[in-house]
Amino acid sequence: MKLLITNIKQLVTMAGVAKKGGRKPQKEDLAIISNAALLIENEKISWIGKNSEAKKFKKCKILDAKGAVILPGLIDSHTHLIFAGSRHEEFAKRSEGKTYLEIAKEGGGILSTVRETQKAPLNTLIKLAHARIQKARSFGITTLEAKSGYGLSLKDELKCLTALQKLSRTEKINLVSTFMGAHDFPPEFKDNKEAYVELLCKVMIPQVAQKKLAKFCDVFIDEGFYTLSQTEKILKTAITHDLRIRIHADEFKPLGGTELAVSLNAKSVDHLMAVTEQGISALAHSHTVATLLPGTSFFLGKTYAPARKLIDAGVCVALATDFNPGSSVTQNLLLVGTLAVTQMKLTLSETLSAMTYNAAKGLGQEALIGSIEVSKQADLAFFDIPSYEYLLYHFGDNFCKKVIWKGKPTEF
């Protein structure tokens, strides 16, 4: 089927950003076409041009964009989608002065969500995630990375990843699954952490790979969590099982995680609130994407990652929500974009690039999605706004009226 989309006020293609590999994007790299139209055939974009030229196409189904501003489908490249329970009580404790790490040491934090997730049946996790996916789509998100990590046992990690596998077959969204059994240590291994690392490497990773339940493996390296040597062992094991790697690094303390990620050709290194000059230099001379999560800094009241230093050094920077029940309880990627502009001093062009092409690059999917170009997958987000500059200006609101995923439209 051919679908012709007409009367597009602004088509923000990101073609120039793609040409530069996502580094140092400028306004002109957004490659905006005014009064545009485009043609979709067999889930792919087959033609892009002016609305006045669209009449040459016959026997097409026509979709009138009614003056919408269209961007590539947004990409949330770092989420902890699969979990049960809530941690609003911990939010109250933090308002009274307790820190995230103090709460974790008292048995709260990640482990409180682990307890609830372990208790939840598979169907409950699927139902919860389904609602979250619908919410994500309503913001114009057409690709979502989702991690396990709230199971912390072979049975429960496989349960979480199985939920994602089932959802990927039914939901109208690109779901990218990440195994993160190394999110924390289960309580029963608190006095023998190396034994859990062995379990991850000898049992969990091989089973995840054999069952094809994930594309990536992720590790949380930080003070009180995984050490540099433990992280290296886990990630090298993942590589031998043909899993791509990404890493939570330099969130609270710089332990060398960024440099390790670069040395192992990780697709993405995420957080980076405490990244060092050496880490920035390593990223600038690599193909690893720096995925920044300003929602976490905002919610925890922490320092923001040095986005300006990273971009000016030539690092390819992406933005994501870090949606999770403890440190970033939002799926509003547009609000995250506003935080990037106002608190991290990104330009609008850098921010929009970070939520589209650069995020796709952090997932290794930039050849397929992230920009509006001929032969790429037809993933589009329609916004009812006067101009693309308005999208993050009216902060916290949502102007998405429609998404197209693989050429199929859905309205809200």
Q: Which of 118-123's residues contact partners 24+ apart within 8 Å by CB, and which partners? A: 118/151, 118/152, 118/153, 118/156, 119/84, 120/84, 120/85, 122/159, 122/162, 122/163
CATH topology of domain 2-73+371-411: Urease, subunit C; domain 1 (2.30.40)
Q: What contacts 150, CB < 8 A, 6 or more positions away?
A: 80, 82, 83, 84, 110, 113, 114, 116, 117, 156, 160, 183
Buried b (16+ CB within 10 A) or exposed e, 195-223: ebbebbbeebbeebbeeebbbbbbbbbbe
Q: What letter represents residue 43's amino acid?
A: E
Reported as a pLDDT band with limits 50, 70 and 90, residue 371 is very high
Reported as a pLDDT band with limits 50, 70 and 90, residue 225 is very high
Task: Calculate mean pLDDT across residues 68-91.
Answer: 96
Q: How far is it, in rounded angstroms, from Cα 60 to Cα 65?
A: 15
Looking at residue 308, its pLDDT comes to 98
**Residue ranges of domains in the chain:** 2-73+371-411, 75-362
Q: Considering the entire predicted model, what is its pTM?
A: 0.97
Q: How far is it, in rounded angstroms, from Cα 31 to Cα 178?
A: 32
Q: How far is it, in rounded angstroms, from Cα 336 to Cα 98?
A: 25
Of all residues in the chain, what percent carry a pLDDT higher than 90? Answer: 91
Q: Which CATH number fits domain 75-362: 3.20.20.140, 3.40.190.10, 3.40.47.10, 3.40.50.1220?
A: 3.20.20.140
Looking at residue 289, its pLDDT comes to 98
**Least confident residue range of 63-67, 99-103, 128-132, 373-377:** 99-103
Looking at residue 57, its pLDDT comes to 92
275-305-277 Cα angle (round to 5): 30
Residue 323 is classified by DSSP as: B
Q: How far is it, in rounded angstroms, from Cα 158 to Cα 148?
A: 9
What is the pairing mode between strands 380-383 and 400-405?
antiparallel
The torsion angles phi and psi of 317, rounded to 5 degrees, stand at -110, 130
Token duo for residue 410: 């859905």
pLDDT at 402 > cutoff 90: yes
pLDDT at 104 > cutoff 80: no
Size of the chain in residues: 412
Q: How far is it, in rounded angstroms, from Cα 178 to Cα 157?
A: 11
Task: Calculate mean pLDDT across residues 144-152.
Answer: 98
Domains 2-73+371-411 and 75-362 share a fold: no
Looking at residue 270, its pLDDT comes to 98
SS3 content of the chain, % helix, strand, coil (to 5): 40, 25, 35
Q: How far is it, in rounded angstroms, from Cα 268 to Cα 223?
A: 20
Q: How far is it, in rounded angstroms, from Cα 148 to Cα 167?
A: 14
Looking at residue 240, its pLDDT comes to 98
159-164-170 Cα angle (round to 5): 130
Q: 214-224: per-residue pLDDT in tens?
A: 999 999 999 98
Q: What letter represents residue 210's amino acid?
A: Q
Reported as a pLDDT band with limits 50, 70 and 90, residue 198 is very high
pLDDT at 100 > cutoff 80: no
- Three-class secondary structure of residue 315 per DSSP: coil
For 34-76, what is the HEC assignment? Answer: EEEEEEEECCEEEEEEEHHHHHHCCCCEEEECCCCEEEECEEE
245-251-252 Cα angle (round to 5): 140
Q: How far is it, in rounded angstroms, from Cα 218 to Cα 181?
A: 8
pLDDT at 411 > cutoff 80: no
Q: 302-360: per-residue pLDDT in tens?
A: 999 999 999 999 999 999 999 999 999 999 999 999 999 999 999 999 999 999 999 99
pLDDT at 117 > cutoff 90: yes
* Distances, alpha carbon 126 to alpha carbons 94, 152, 399, in Å: 30, 18, 27
